[in-house]
Amino acid sequence: MPLSDDKDFEQAWDKTIAEFQAKRAKARAQKPESDKPPDPTAWQRGTFSAIDLQTMDFPPFAWIVQDILPAEGAALLCARPKFGKSWIALDLCLGCAADRFILGTLKPKQGDVLYLALEDSKRRLQRRMTKLLPFGSKWPERLRLTTEWRRLHDGGLEDIRAWYDLTKGKGGNPILVVVDVLAKVRKPTKPGTPQYEADYEALTGITKLANELGIAILVVHHVRKMQADDLMEMVSGTSGITGAVDTILVMANKPNGTVLDTRGRDAEQAELAIEFEKATCRWRILGDAAEVHLSEQQSKILAALRQAGEPLGAADLEKITEIKRDTLGKALYRLANEGAIKRVGRGLYAIPEWQPPPEGPKAHSGKSGKPHGPLPDSLPKSNPHENIKKNSASGKSGSSGSLGTPSAVGEPVEAPEVLPVQTLPELPEVPQWAQATERVAESETPKSGNGKIDLPELPECLRRAPNGSPQADGLPPGQAMARVFIREILISPR
């Protein structure tokens, strides 16, 4: 408001000076904390002895969701954006406030719930609750919702405490607060502040308040884009985020399916296979991820081994499953290490229930399919000369040495106990001069003046040259042929 004259201005100025002097005097009257003497008993506040701890009484440990979310402490629910974490958070709130099953077959703890849906509007909340709740059912009065909330450092923690006190004063049972999402309520990071300290401080107040009030506070958070083998490393921010809370729940897609990885100070580590049902917009647990999430290749391998009922090699499995050899080898190695199949030999695999057959005679592999009979200890004695006579008498037709033909088709023919020995007529001895030896080869070395080889007298059979053979060097036909024969022996490798 503008001042009308100098008098009004002087009055306003005097008032401002008076207020300033009053504040300065008040500040001087208060002695600084640094000037106060240290309290020697300050360290004793909050400490207790082991014997006191032994006799303390605590209520039984409880769960909001059995083996997943404890009923006391701060927890993180992390997933990538638009993954469906808001659906599971709202379904959890409705399950606690309306006595409903969640995640398939789990009944959560019943009580009053505060849901901070800071990324949603009232219209979206109404549409989602209409989808989750049965048509015509009465919506739960024990669920309190809001789309706006102060930041934690700016009164947000005090507002949670006020809701708890108000609900408790009305005879209610406050058990759960869901904050969706952390970025909407955390204190902004000042420039130059170490990121780890800022992340840890963002959740320290929530953890302390949850343990003080004895309730569960679930904070929805995001994961980073970079993939990691350990899902806990995918939580957005530094390790100060995960270190400040008591329980961490991470929803993520793996090569074999979607999982919910749970870890905490009071909850055992578990990896559960989960599935989102689009028809109802609800998540459900399928079971342990290691048992549920077998890849398509592994399922084909197990089906092939069960159908065969006996060990199979990699080549047989490759033909049956139509899986490439490299992929098949990796799948077999993983299944064997997990105990889904077992190695029963070099390159042979079978299902764990398969047992090798007992030792015994093997089935006949011929066309008849009949098993072999046991062999006799000894053969009956027989006269070979009599056998020869019988065989020669029975073979009336056919070539020499034939055993004859059976009298009737289909009658079994008994084989002779001793077969006759057939002899061939004696061949004439090859003369020594015709053998290809070193002596014959050396006889070609000396030559006569006209270049002819001096050969010994040849027999009549070698003097006749074959039809069309040339007469070499004017020699007689037999000697010319012998010369060609000796040359071939010398040229050919020995």
Q: Identify the CATH number of the domain in which residue 326 sits.
A: 1.10.10.10
State yes or no: pLDDT of 14 exceeds 90.
no
CATH number at residue 191: 3.40.50.300
- pLDDT at res. 138: 93
Predicted confidence band of residue 296 (pLDDT cuts 50, 70, 90): confident
DSSP string, 260-307: EEEEESSS--EEEEEEEETTTTEEEEEEEHHHH---HHHHHHHHHHHH
State yes or no: pLDDT of 78 exceeds 50.
yes
Question: Would 286 be classed as within a structural domain?
Answer: yes
Question: Would 315 be classed as within a structural domain?
Answer: yes
Residue 102 half-sphere exposure, CB side, CA atoms within 13 Å?
23
Strands 282-288 and 342-345: unpaired
The residue out of 248, 265, 292 marking a domain boundary is 292
The residue out of 254, 277, 292 marking a domain boundary is 292
Q: Are residues 165 and 95 in the same domain?
A: yes
Q: Are residues 135 and 203 in the same domain?
A: yes
Q: Are residues 194 and 94 in the same domain?
A: yes
Q: Please give the residue that has the higher pLDDT: either 377 or 321.
A: 321
Dist. CA 56–CA 33, nearest whole Å:
36
Predicted confidence band of residue 368 (pLDDT cuts 50, 70, 90): very low
Distances (CA, A) of 8 to 11, 12, 44: 5, 6, 58
Mean pLDDT computed over 349-356: 89
Q: Are residues 282 and 152 in the same domain?
A: yes
Question: Would 229 be classed as within a structural domain?
Answer: yes
Predicted confidence band of residue 298 (pLDDT cuts 50, 70, 90): confident
Q: Are residues 288 and 300 in the same domain?
A: no
- pLDDT at res. 400: 43
State yes or no: pLDDT of 183 exceeds 50.
yes
The residue out of 248, 264, 292 marking a domain boundary is 292
Q: Specify the range with the lowest mean pLDDT, choosing from 107-111, 173-177, 309-313.
A: 309-313
Question: Would 221 be classed as within a structural domain?
Answer: yes
Predicted TM-score (pTM) of this structure: 0.59
- pLDDT at res. 485: 59
- pLDDT at res. 427: 55
Q: Are residues 308 and 194 in the same domain?
A: no
State yes or no: pLDDT of 120 exceeds 60.
yes
Q: Please give the residue that has the higher pLDDT: either 427 or 447.
A: 427
Q: Are residues 285 and 330 in the same domain?
A: no
State yes or no: pLDDT of 50 exceeds 90.
yes
State yes or no: pLDDT of 437 exceeds 50.
no
State yes or no: pLDDT of 331 exceeds 70.
yes
- pLDDT at res. 422: 55
Q: Please give the residue that has the higher pLDDT: either 489 or 311.
A: 311
Q: Specify the range with the lowest mean pLDDT, choosing from 202-211, 236-245, 274-283, 469-478.
A: 469-478
- pLDDT at res. 33: 55
Q: Are residues 262 and 113 in the same domain?
A: yes
**Are the CB atoms for 182 and 120 separated by under 8 Å?**
no
Question: Would 406 be classed as within a structural domain?
Answer: no
Dist. CA 129–CA 93, nearest whole Å:
11
Question: Would 230 be classed as within a structural domain?
Answer: yes
Q: Are residues 250 and 312 in the same domain?
A: no
Average confidence score pLDDT of the chain? 78
Dist. CA 381–CA 358, nearest whole Å:
37
Question: Would 1 be classed as within a structural domain?
Answer: no
- pLDDT at res. 121: 95
- pLDDT at res. 161: 95
- pLDDT at res. 222: 93
Predicted confidence band of residue 59 (pLDDT cuts 50, 70, 90): confident
- pLDDT at res. 328: 87
Q: Are residues 76 and 196 in the same domain?
A: yes
- 286 CB burial (10 A radius; 0-12, 13-18, 19+): middle
Question: Would 77 be classed as within a structural domain?
Answer: yes
Question: In sequence order, what are the beta bridge partners of 473?
Answer: none
Q: Are residues 275 and 329 in the same domain?
A: no
Dist. CA 264–CA 246, nearest whole Å:
6
**Are the CB atoms for 75 and 247 separated by under 8 Å?**
yes
Q: Are residues 328 and 183 in the same domain?
A: no
How many domains are contained in the chain?
2
- pLDDT at res. 421: 55
- pLDDT at res. 327: 81
Place of tokens 């559960």: 272
- pLDDT at res. 41: 82
State yes or no: pLDDT of 170 exceeds 80.
yes
Q: Please give the residue that has the higher pLDDT: either 296 or 199.
A: 199
Closest CA to 63 of 215, 174, 177: 215
Provide the domain limits for residue 84: 63-292
